[in-house]
């Protein structure tokens, strides 16, 4: 099968059948475009001609570019290529998977950066309660911290997803749904936004079921949500880096520090594997170690 057609078929598969998000599919598309170009430059246009040795040379070439790619980028590239060839074998298009012996690069362990509870409270209080968009921004921030939702999940919420009172329906990766509790602070903030602000925003644009709307009435984008978080961090005078995932990291870390079971946190975050969630336990252990070192009379 021609490589370009194989890539197109695989992208359709992960979009339609697997239901991956537009953001994830875009990352696969960019990675496979690099792979497709490299194979073309090497004179390879058919998937049958791709061998393990060729895959190895491709990865070696990508590892040696200047500036050197991050380990996470290289790992994602390998994952994209591996996914393509495994798909071809599953579909009966190819007999063997040339990526069978491909090993991912060793990833440096990076602990999530969580805010302190005081920093979170300052962040949540930063948007103006007198400004309509400030009311919206506070509702978004409160909801992110109350539920541990990804930013893409939050901006993808419909008003009907709030219909269950003290729980919220989130649609995560792979179109998987989960139900999470939502505390009184977030409920009050979202309620104020729904009654005082959203009707006026909705009147400015086309009818949309999305919960969070922009200043012109269109659904709030991920990029706009990121700007909301960054602006709130600046207002709260938080000097550490605050990313779209910061409140999610803080949500998980504070739950574990408060005694929540890691399996419960896994379910709330929507992680497929508990191993992904367990990285947050290292943050909690570090906190315990610091408290022990400063509090125990025989710690030093």
- Catalytic residue set: 150, 173, 245, 248, 271, 280
DSSP 154-193: HHT-BGGGGTTSSEEEEE-GGG-EEEEE--HHHHHHHHHH
Please compute, for residue 9, the number of CA atoms within 13 A of its CA located in the half-sphere on the CB side. Answer: 17
Please compute, for residue 220, the number of CA atoms within 13 A of its CA located in the half-sphere on the CB side. Answer: 28
CB 125 within 8 A of CB 145: no
DSSP H or E segment with residue 74: helix 71-90
The residues pairing with 2 across neighbouring beta strands, listed in sequence order, are 46
Beta strands in the chain (DSSP E): 167-171, 177-181
Q: How many CB atoms neighbour CB 106 within 10 A?
A: 8
> What distance in Å separates the CA atoms of residue 292 and residue 299, rounded to the nearest whole number?
7
């Amino acid at each position: 099968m021609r490589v370009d057609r194989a890539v197109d078929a695989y992208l359709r598969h992960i979009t339609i059948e697997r239901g991956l998000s537009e953001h994830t599919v875009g990352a696969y598309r960019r990675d496979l475009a690099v792979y497709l170009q490299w194979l073309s430059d090497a004179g390879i246009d058919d998937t049958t001609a791709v061998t393990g040795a060729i895959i190895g040379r491709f990865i070696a070439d990508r590892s040696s570019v200047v500036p050197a790619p991050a380990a996470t980028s290289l790992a994602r590239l390998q994952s994209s290529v591996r996914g393509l060839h495994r798909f071809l074998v599953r579909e009966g298009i190819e007999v063997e998977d040339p990526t069978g012996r491909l090993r991912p690069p060793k990833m440096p362990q990076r602990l999530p950066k969580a805010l302190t509870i005081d920093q979170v409270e300052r962040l949540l209080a930063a948007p103006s309660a007198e400004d309509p968009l400030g009311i919206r921004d506070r509702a978004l921030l409160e909801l992110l911290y109350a539920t541990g939702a990804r930013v893409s999940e939050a901006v993808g919420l419909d008003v009907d997803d709030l219909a269950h009172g003290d729980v919220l329906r989130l649609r995560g990766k792979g179109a998987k749904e989960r139900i999470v509790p939502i505390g009184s602070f977030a409920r009050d903030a979202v309620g104020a936004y729904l009654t005082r602000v959203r009707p006026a925003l909705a009147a400015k644009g086309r009818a949309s079921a999305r919960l969070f709307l922009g200043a012109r009435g269109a659904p709030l984008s991920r990029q706009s949500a990121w700007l909301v978080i960054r602006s709130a961090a600046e207002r709260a005078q938080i000097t550490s880096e605050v990313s779209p995932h910061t409140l999610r990291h803080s949500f998980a870390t504070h739950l574990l520090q408060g005694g929540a079971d890691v399996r419960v946190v896994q379910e709330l975050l929507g992680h497929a594997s508990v191993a992904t969630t367990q990285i947050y336990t290292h943050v909690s252990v570090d906190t315990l170690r610091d408290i022990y070192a400063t509090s125990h009379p025989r710690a030093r």
